[in-house]
Structure 1
Amino acid sequence: MDLPLDWDHLRVFLAVARRGQLLAAARQLALNHATIARRLDALEAALGSPLFDRRPTGCVLTQAGERLMPAAERVEAEMLGIAERFRKEEAEVSGTVRIGAPDGLGNYFLAAELGRLALLHPHLVVELVPLPRTFSLSRREADLAIVLDRPTEGRLTVSRLTDYTLGAYAAASYIAAFGAPESEADLAGRRVVTGVEDLAYASALDYSGVLEKHGGQPFRCASVTGQMEAVRSGAGIGVLHDFAAAYYGDALVRILPRIAFRRSYFLLAHPDTVEVRRIATVRAFLARRFREERARFIAE
Structure 2
Amino acid sequence: MQNWDDLRLFLAVAREESLSGAGKVLRLDPATLGRRMARLEADLGKALFVKSPQGYALTAEGTDMLERAAAAERAMLAVRRPASGTAEGLSGQIRIGAPDGCANFVLPQVCAALARENPALDIQIVALPRVFNLSRREADMAIGVSAPTAGRLVVRQITDYTLHLAASERYLAQAGGIASVADLRDHPMVGYIPDMIFDRELDYLADLGAGRVRLASNSVAVQMNMIRQGGGVGVVHDFCLPFAPGVRRILRDTVSLRRAFYLIRHADDARTPRLSRFADALVAGLRAEVARLQVLDA
Pick closer, same or farther for the CA change 1:23–1:196 going to 2, 3 Å.
Answer: closer
| Structure-1-length-normalised TM-score | 0.85
Pick closer, same or farther for the CA change 1:72–1:248 going to 2, 3 Å.
Answer: closer
Deviations 1:128-167 (Å, cap 9, x if unpaired)? 1113424311211111110001101111111111000001
Tell me the number of residue pairs that the alignment of Structure 1 and Structure 2 aligns. Answer: 295
Residue 254 (1) aligns with residue 249 (2): yes
The structure with the larger Rg is: 1
Q: What residue identity is the alignment partner of 2:289?
A: E
Which residue of 91, 109, 113 corresponds with 1:112?
A: 109
Superposed CA RMSD in Å reads 2.8
Which residue of 205, 208, 212 corresponds with 2:202?
A: 205
Q: What residue identity is the alignment partner of 1:242?
A: D
Pick closer, same or farther for the CA change 1:212–1:192 going to 2, 3 Å.
Answer: farther
Q: Which structure 2 residues correspond to residues 63-74 of structure 1 after superposition, within 5 A?
A: 63-74=60-71
Aligned residue in 2 for 1:11: 8
Deviations 1:161-196 (Å, cap 9, x if unpaired)? 100000111212222223321112222322221221
Q: Which structure 2 residues correspond to residues 161-200 of structure 1 after superposition, within 5 A?
A: 161-200=158-197
Which residue of 119, 123, 129 corresponds with 1:122?
A: 119
Distance (Å, rounded) in 2 between the aligned partners of 1:193 and 1:176: 18
Distance (Å, rounded) in 1 between the aligned partners of 2:41 and 2:33: 12
Distance (Å, rounded) in 1 between the aligned partners of 2:83 and 2:289: 35
Residue 226 (1) aligns with residue 222 (2): yes
| Structure-2-length-normalised TM-score | 0.86
Question: Bigger shift: 151-160 or 75-84?
Answer: 75-84
Aligned residue in 1 for 2:286: 290
Pick closer, same or farther for the CA change 1:224–1:51 going to 2, 3 Å.
Answer: closer
Pick closer, same or farther for the CA change 1:50–1:134 going to 2, 3 Å.
Answer: same
Pick closer, same or farther for the CA change 1:243–1:58 going to 2, 3 Å.
Answer: closer
Unmatched tracts of structure 2, length 5 or more: none
Pick closer, same or farther for the CA change 1:245–1:87 going to 2, 3 Å.
Answer: closer
Aligned residue in 1 for 2:157: 160
Q: Is the 8 A contact 1:99 1:145 kept in 2?
A: yes
Unmatched tracts of structure 1, length 5 or more: none
Pick closer, same or farther for the CA change 1:296–1:95 going to 2, 3 Å.
Answer: same
Distance (Å, rounded) in 1 between the aligned partners of 2:179 and 2:83: 64
Aligned residue in 2 for 1:238: 234
- How far apart are 1:82 and its partner, in Å? 3.2
Q: Percent identity?
A: 39
Distance (Å, rounded) in 2 between the aligned partners of 1:223 and 1:86: 39
Pick closer, same or farther for the CA change 1:271–1:46 going to 2, 3 Å.
Answer: same
Distance (Å, rounded) in 2 between the aligned partners of 1:222 and 1:29: 31
Pick closer, same or farther for the CA change 1:6–1:290 going to 2, 3 Å.
Answer: same
Deviations 1:22-73 (Å, cap 9, x if unpaired)? 3432332344556645643553343233433455653343454344232223
Q: What residue identity is the alignment partner of 1:156?
A: L
Pick closer, same or farther for the CA change 1:77–1:181 going to 2, 3 Å.
Answer: same
Q: What residue identity is the alignment partner of 2:248?
A: V
Distance (Å, rounded) in 2 between the aligned partners of 1:93 and 1:143: 14
Question: Bigger shift: 161-170 or 79-88?
Answer: 79-88
- How far apart are 1:197 and its partner, in Å? 1.6
Q: What residue identity is the alignment partner of 1:238?
A: G
Pick closer, same or farther for the CA change 1:121–1:56 going to 2, 3 Å.
Answer: same
